[in-house]
């Protein structure tokens, strides 16, 4: 999927504020802290549902090679960090070492832990809302947000439900990317639908890997070098106080 084609001026079509999600201890996540979305473009209108826009911090998960000559459209208003989660993971052949979304998400957890840790630390340190995005806001964004949500104690079922919300937005995302053409000869629509879908089973697999660490997703972050203080700061920042 090309990532260098400018979208429409209408605005993000796969955006949401990750506030209001239920956590394991009965509290909910706070609005205006963590946003997720597809890639923003110059001329976009502010997305509906954003408590503050532009965000204070943007984390762009796309490969730097794809965006090296492009100034991020929010660069003049937000602190933009590029964390290319998949860059360099395809090997010398350039071929993807994964065949399915399950394998892709597991590959990120297993082979890009330091980059995911960087996403976590930038989010913890941010002074204001953070937007995490890739091209479509589905795969790289899905795994990064699942980690942040689970590390805060958000319920497994709530994370899956948020992830699958992307499914109904993907046709509009592809239109913004201008990669939703008529299918070429020999390409079956079912194959395309599988590529652009957001099935719950895929993110469930990533969550199972994170939860299998001692201490769950928080323990996984500790294994990568996060500190207990950082995790506590994240929970204080992202979770509403208990009644």
Nearest-Å Rg of the Cα atoms of the chain is 17
- SS3 helix, strand, coil % of the chain, rounded to 5? 40, 10, 50
Instruction: Say whether pLDDT at 2 is over 50.
Output: no
* Both structure tokens of 9: 């001026």
How would residue 92 be classed by pLDDT, with cut points 50, 70 and 90?
A: confident
Residue 136, Cβ density class (10 Å: 0-12 exposed, 13-18 middle, ≥19 buried)? buried
CB 105 within 8 A of CB 143: yes
Find the mean pLDDT for residues 56-67: 87
CA dihedral (59, 65, 71, 75) in degrees, to 10, reads 20
Instruction: Say whether pLDDT at 132 is over 80.
Output: yes
Instruction: Say whether pLDDT at 18 is over 70.
Output: yes
Higher pLDDT, 187 or 222: 222
Least confident of 49-63, 80-94, 212-226: 80-94
Instruction: Say whether pLDDT at 100 is over 80.
Output: yes
- Determine the pLDDT at residue 198: 82
Q: What is the pLDDT of residues 156-199, one digit of tens each?
A: 999 999 999 998 898 888 888 765 444 434 444 454 555 568 88
How would residue 69 be classed by pLDDT, with cut points 50, 70 and 90?
A: low
CATH (one of 3.30.70.260, 1.20.1740.10, 3.20.20.70, 3.90.190.10) for 16-178+189-235: 3.90.190.10
How would residue 223 be classed by pLDDT, with cut points 50, 70 and 90?
A: very high
Judge if the upstream peptide bond of residue 150 is cis by omega within 30 degrees of 0: no
Cα angle 199, 205, 209 (rounded to 5 degrees) comes to 155
Percent of the chain with pLDDT over 70: 87
The domains of the chain are located at 16-178+189-235
How would residue 112 be classed by pLDDT, with cut points 50, 70 and 90?
A: very high
Higher pLDDT, 242 or 212: 212
- Determine the pLDDT at residue 221: 98
Give the residue among 30, 49, 42, 60 at the shortest CA–CA distance from 169: 49
Distance CA 106, CA 5 (A): 28
């Amino acid at each position: 999927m090309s990532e260098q084609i400018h979208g429409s001026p209408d605005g993000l079509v796969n955006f949401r504020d990750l506030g209001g999600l239920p956590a394991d201890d009965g509290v909910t996540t706070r609005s205006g802290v963590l946003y997720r979305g597809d890639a923003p473009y110059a001329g976009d209108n502010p997305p509906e549902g954003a408590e503050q826009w532009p965000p204070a911090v943007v984390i762009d998960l796309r490969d730097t090679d794809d965006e090296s000559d492009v100034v991020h459209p929010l660069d003049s208003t937000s602190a933009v960090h590029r964390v290319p989660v998949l860059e360099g993971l395809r090997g010398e052949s350039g071929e993807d070492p994964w065949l399915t979304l399950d394998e892709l998400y597991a590959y990120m957890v297993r082979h890009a832990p330091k980059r995911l840790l960087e996403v976590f630390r930038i989010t913890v340190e941010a002074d204001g809302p953070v937007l995490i995005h890739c091209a479509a806001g589905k795969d790289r964004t899905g795994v990064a947000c699942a980690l942040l949500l689970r590390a805060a104690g958000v319920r497994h079922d709530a994370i899956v439900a948020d992830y699958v919300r992307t499914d109904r937005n993907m046709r509009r995302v592809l239109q913004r990317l201008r990669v939703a053409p008529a299918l070429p000869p020999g390409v079956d629509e079912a194959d395309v639908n599988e590529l652009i879908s957001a099935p719950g089973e895929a993110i469930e697999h990533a969550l199972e890997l994170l939860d299998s660490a001692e201490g769950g997703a928080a323990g996984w972050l500790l294994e990568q070098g996060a500190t207990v203080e950082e995790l506590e700061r994240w929970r204080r920042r992202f979770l509403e106080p208990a009644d």
